[in-house]
Structure 1
Amino acid sequence: MTSSQAFLKDFHDVAAIGATPANGVDRQAATPEDKQTRDWFAAYAEARGWEVRVDGIGNMFALVELVPGAPYVLVGSHLDSQPLGGRFDGAYGVIAGLHAASRITERLAASGGTPVFNLAVVNWFNEEGGRFAPSIMGSSVFAGLMDEDAMLAVQDLAGISVREALDGIGYLGTDQRPEVASYAEIHIEQGRILEREQLPLGAVDYSWYTQKLDIEVLGEQSHTGATAMADRHDALVAASKVVLLVHDVTKKFTEEALVSSVGRMTLEPNSPIVVARRVHLVADLRSASPEIVSEARASLLADIDAIAREHDITINVNDFDIRGIQYYPEEGLELAEKVAAELGLGIRRIQTMAGHDSVALNRIAPTVMLFIPSVDGVSHCEREFTRDEDMVAGLDALTELGWKLVHGALTDQATGPAA
């Protein structure tokens, strides 16, 4: 079996964990299915003699010591998924990272090269944020962007905290976090640009600005049959208008300049014979322009205030999970382009509208993020799909990128083998 075949076998084996009938996966953070993928990750590393560490927010690291005492080049992504999510999002980057690390260690053993840095593969905790909000949690704690204790106290809709959930699956760790020299992540694009242009690789040059709004609609609970329509203060009716506002605010700007959504909504008391008293929802605004997001936010606040007055109810809106544009280093983009050229693979620079762990790591270390094509641009659903040949091409690129990084690329410690 070739190394590419071994990678594909592992990828498709892992896709069977938490598999859904429509070829997706459901492995939300710190669930029994997430534990199974974590156990698989640990077993892969331990079989190769790599040290496995788990930190205080559940991030997993497979440490490959090449230069005792040196910092680590991190490669990886996340193994958790959205509810009824796709089998490629996140998991591809982790499994590709493990196999790239295996290839690099085998090449070093054969060549007798002298790297500058150690190598580590990482599985970040709760990147998706489907069970515990906010998303990109583990990598943000690692990067010092979120407080660990505050994130451990976050609860899911059933009232289970992150701390309790991680402890329940045996992955609430206490291990020391590795010192990071640089970071590389490969991911499916979750868009259609690479597919349309028939390119196997994209190098992310910057991330979109993200602004979320935590919206609480407070009405009055009453009987659905006995309360006159004129006497109702229905939180759900008002909230439904807010949802439409969030959707329609994109029409105030040029096409594709702004995307918006409401992805989570909870209803109280959620009884078939009670007018809703409270609705909680989270709105998401994203654009390449912070000014457009700011303008959309201001427009929404004014329109939401008008709805509150129309229905004689209270609507509280708070800013939540704001993420500025992150520009990836030019040196990293050029390195990715050099790797692609050496492999004979086409590549283009590309923006990421979605958030990724690399956005957090880019704040503290030189970071390179690669994309591979997504069929039809579909993601966060069971129909998500990327071809085997595109995954293998991405693995080849990640391997060469990792080889150059452990030899000092993106630092002032470059040595001959990285060239």
Structure 2
Amino acid sequence: MYKPLVIALVGDYGYIKQIETTIKSIIYHNHDCKIYVINPDIPQEWFFLANQRLAIIHCKIIDKKILPKTLAKEFAFLDQVSVVAYAKFLLPRLLSDSRVLYLDSDVIVNNSLTQLFYQDLQGHPLAAVEDYDEHNGHFNSGVLLLDLDHLRRIPNFVSQALKLGQDRSLKNADQDVFNHFFKDDYLALPLADNYQIGMDSIAYYHSKIKPYLLPKLDSVTQPVITHFLTIHKPWKDFSSGRLRELWWQYYGLSWEDAVYNRPLPLTQPNLYKRFFTFLMTEETGRLVDLAKACPQYEFNVATWVPVGPKIHKLLQYPNIHVYEHIVGRQIEELVKHCDAYLDVDCPVKEHHVLKQFAQHQTPFLAFANVADHYHHYPNYRVFDDDDLQGFIDALKQI
């Protein structure tokens, strides 16, 4: 008789699209799964409708309800962390299984979980991946392989953990509590088992004080589980970091698509050419005019800082993509696939970025009123301010 994978997630109905997306990624790569969702308020109809579609692959999503007051006193300092995260401490009480793979609901599963789930814990109560950012021996609590029998043998583990979770000095909520108990007694998993991609922004903007972060991120080429940590979540209008489109591909699957392992959908239309503009201010020049005139081309826009309403409004155009708080690896990818740099916004330039395009022999096109007249970039063409059609014709000829 087969033994299904036992997986647990926690969350409330406000997080249902994230929970659903994570589960779709699980069943896309894994059949024969028992998936618990620990929650205070997800309607039973959601479970019924989902399970109708999953029965054919021997997967079942199990509703485990908790009372909101159970976690009412727990402390969560970070905006991206809800007190419901502390529900993972209830797993030894709520489940009868011997072990469970706990997953945060901001992860995407990229492969089979069988090897991870069935590995030998070597007597440890849990297995986890080190926290990329902490760099102090602590593990990240977003992916945990838990020996529930072991946890049940620890006197008053659940009540002690919940009591510690009320400490107002906690920096990383439930993660700090788990590390309080087990930082010296866990099986270290490979980085690929919890690829903490949300650290991209920290790795780039704090590279001098955290030089270890980027090498860790770059060392993972085939993640088993991708974890979108920090506030830069892919489901927001803007997010900094790699693999945003991966989350949306799984979000875009229907239950039937996931069950039958159909190809992941495109998240953007296939456009013929790609252009790039780096904005130093809210001024966008004639960028919108160009995008409207060339709907078959992709216009990528980036900034170092949070965008204001004027740039945010660009998102209404399907061929304009905005990168807020852009990071180095994103710039490298955009340079690699750029057909022309459009210097159309304002006289102030970010030459650190422009030089990367110049080194890649990317053509530059500019309007006269904002053109750069000092750095003499190669392949730099300047158009009169009223020659919009000439600019458009040049784009089409590239």
Q: TM-score, structure 1 length as denominator?
A: 0.26
Task: Return the index of the structure with the highest Cα Rg.
Answer: 2
Structure scoring higher RCO (CA < 8 A, sep ≥ 6) equals 1
Structure whose residues are more often strand by fraction:
1
Taking structure 2 as the reference length, the TM-score comes to 0.27
